[in-house]
Amino acid sequence: MGYRGKTTEQERARALRAGGMTMPDIATALGVSRSSVSLWTRDVPFDPRPRRSPVERRPSSLAVAKQREIDELLAEGRHRIGQLTDREFLMAGVALYAGEGSKRDGAVQFANSDARMIAFFCAWFRAFFRPDEARLRCRIYLHDGLDIDEAEAFWSACTRIPRSQFGKPYRAVADASIRTNKHAHGCAYVVYASSRSHRQVMGLVHALLSSEAIPG
């Protein structure tokens, strides 16, 4: 439906902002992103409410309920997933590559700013394709002003790829008109130059996405 369809949320956001509520609190109360709140209320005069002392300040009932639901569903997710079997691990990695991996022939390439996804991919690729560790490469996409040494150390620990096998980092200049947040450690690109390995991966991807593999 998009932003234009959320007229009720927009009206409530504007009213709350006019009443002195902060953007993060409005976003929490309405269950929307802070960027949406900023867009909807940018022309609303803002007179901040006096802040309570840390002792007096308490989370709203909506925030408490939201956090309780999040905690419950995280626990439910851990219970439902449990420990993956080898086959489940294989299939999960194939699905991950189908969504985030490079489809261009010649090299297995996987990029993400989420360290958990990068670590999952590396563990999966090592488990099922036994790559030559000396041929694994990593490259970082990092905004100007962020610490490249810290970022390389972080991604090296995450991928277990030595920093000597890292390529020259790509330095990006942030465009404030598009986004303001920056990932502290940037985005990592893991690359394994092997046409055969890439074709093996893509064979699994095509098999997973084929109509024969879908139940019912």
Task: State the 10-residue block means of pLDDT for the chain, 216 residues long.
Answer: 53 78 79 78 73 65 89 92 94 96 97 94 97 97 86 93 95 61 82 98 95 76
Q: What is the pLDDT of residue 13?
A: 78
Q: What is the pLDDT of residue 2?
A: 39
Helix then strand then coil, % of the chain, to nearest 5: 55, 10, 35
Q: What is the pLDDT of residue 9?
A: 72
Q: What is the pLDDT of residue 54?
A: 54
**Rounded CA separation 192/121 (Å):** 12
Q: What is the pLDDT of residue 48?
A: 67
Distance of CA 200 to the CA centre of its chain: 26
Under 8 Å between Cβ of 32 and 41: no
Q: What is 86-213's CATH number? A: 3.30.1330
* β-pair partners for 166: 138
pTM of this prediction? 0.68
Q: What is the pLDDT of residue 40?
A: 81
Chain region(s) in the chain for CATH 3.30.1330: 86-213
Q: What is the pLDDT of residue 181?
A: 53
Which two three-digit tokens encode residue 153?
A: 């150390």
